[in-house]
Structure formats: C-alpha cells, structure tokens
Chains A and B, each alone.
Chain A
Amino acid sequence: KNQVEQSPQSLIILEGKNCTLQCNYTVSPFSNLRWYKQDTGRGPVSLTIMTFSENTKSNGRYTATLDADTKQSSLHITASQLSDSASYICVVSAQRAGNMLTFGGGTRLMVKP
C-alpha cells in the first residue's frame, strides 16, 4: 500500500531560525514528490515538485531534497518568518493512470516571534 510518513508531526521555532522537515515514502512506481504548504482551512499550495532524477530543488527560502534510493525527502526552511506558520505536506505521485496523489499527514509548523 502506498504510504507517506512525515516527521515531526509538529514543530515550534523562533522567527529567523531554520528548520528541516522529513518525509519517508513507499509509493511505487514513483513518479514525483511534492511539498505543499497548507494554511488552516485552505487548499494546499505547491512549493516544489521533484522527479526521480532531481536531488535538490529550491524555491526562495524553501529547499527540498530527494533521495530516491532511500525514499526520503526533506524540506528545509531558512530564516523563518511568522507567515511560514502552516502545515507542510509531503505528497507523492505514482506512475499510473489518474495521477493519484498520496498525501502525508503533514508537519504543523508554528513560527513564534
């Protein structure tokens, strides 16, 4: 069964600090891995999409890594801001008709002043 597990479940950091969120997946055959940001009560918004051949991808203060051999990914946030407070969800897509996405449970990040 396809699964995506994230850690930690929640995280509190001070404004300006860095943090790293982890994702492990067992989705096969693998197509791509995405990180989404979801504010409470809102739809997920894409941060990065990584394919099998990509190891690192940056989007502003967000840097995602992917190790397709160990089936692990991380999302690093640098110089955190109060507006970074949200859930960060790791989502993996399998190579199959329908392009179904498997969502992780998310890491709820709170940035405090």
Chain B
Amino acid sequence: EPEVTQTPSHQVTQMGQEVILRCVPISNHLYFYWYRQILGQKVEFLVSFYNNEISEKSEIFDDQFSVERPDGSNFTLKIRSTKLEDSAMYFCASTETGKTEAFFGQGTRLTVV
C-alpha cells in the first residue's frame, strides 16, 4: 500500500543550525502538508503546498521555515536557524487531488540541544 515516507526518523541538532526534513509523498498526490506536534501538545498545522507554491501557512511558519519540492518526488521542510522550541515531531502529509483524506508519514522527531 502506498505510504508517505519521512527521513530521518530522528534528528538531533544544535541550536542555531539548519535542518532539512525530508518527505516523499504518495506518488499521485499533489497536495502536501507539514504539521508539527510538540511533546504532549496538539498537532499543529504549519503549511500546505500545491502546484509548486504555498497555499496556506500558519503563524508558526515564519521566516525561519521554508518548503521546497526540489524534484518530482521529494518535499522538504527547512528550518534555517533552529531554536530549542523547534523540538517536536514533524509530520508530512499528502492528499490526492479531489479527495479529502490526508495520509500522514511516521514523522521526524527533531531534538534541538
């Protein structure tokens, strides 16, 4: 069964460093999303992406964040200068055009030290 895959599963980085979280959405899906979940808190929307541009973004998604679809399969989230409060589980999701169901990856646990 097709699935959304995310790498790495766990990333530890020093404060101030740049990180890139990678996602491979399901192949025929055209809507892509990033969500995050701080430990013990709700899952929060970060950004949605369609047709090579951002469709919507939340207040969390400030200038430190960026997304890119560098090729036909990958979808990345970059955090330019990580802060301690960026430590969270980051989930990628994708949706097929015309459908409502979002399929989530297993997440990348980012730990900023």
- Residues of B whose CB lies within 8 Å of any CB of A are 4, 31, 33, 35, 41-45, 48, 50, 55-56, 58, 89, 91, 93, 95, 100-107, 109
Is the beta-carbon distance between A103 and B43 smaller than 8 angstroms? Answer: yes
Q: 16 A-B contacts, Cβ less than 8 Å apart? A: A31-B100, A41-B89, A42-B106, A43-B4, A43-B91, A43-B107, A46-B101, A46-B103, A49-B100, A93-B100, A99-B55, A99-B102, A101-B35, A103-B35, A103-B43, A103-B44
Partner of B42, one of A42, A93, A105: A105
In the docked arrangement, what's the CA distance between A49 and B103, Å? 12
Pair A49/B101 contact, Cβ less than 8 Å: yes
**Do residues B42 and A45 form an inter-chain contact, with CB atoms below 8 A?**
no
Q: Give residues of chain A (5-45) contacting chain B, Cβ–Cβ below 8 Å.
A: 31-32, 34, 41-45
Please give the residue numbers on chain A whose beta carbons come within 8 Å of chain B beta carbons, in ascending order: 31-32, 34, 41-46, 49, 89, 91, 93, 96-106
Q: Are A32 and B100 in contact, CB atoms less than 8 angstroms apart?
A: yes
Interchain CB contact under 8 A, B56 and A44: no
Min CB–CB distance B36 → chain A (angstroms): 11
Closest 8 CB pairs of A and B: A98-B56, A43-B104, A98-B55, A98-B48, A103-B43, A43-B106, A100-B45, A105-B42
Shortest CB-to-CB span from B42 to chain A, Å, is: 5
Residues of B within 8 A of A106 (CB): 42
Contact flag A104-B104 (CB < 8 Å), given A98-B55, A99-B95: no
What is the distance, in angstroms, from B53's C-beta to the closest C-beta of chain A? 11
Judge whether A99 and B42 touch: CB under 8 Å. Answer: no
- Determine the chain A residues whose CB is within 8 A of the CB of B43 once the complex forms: 44, 89, 91, 103
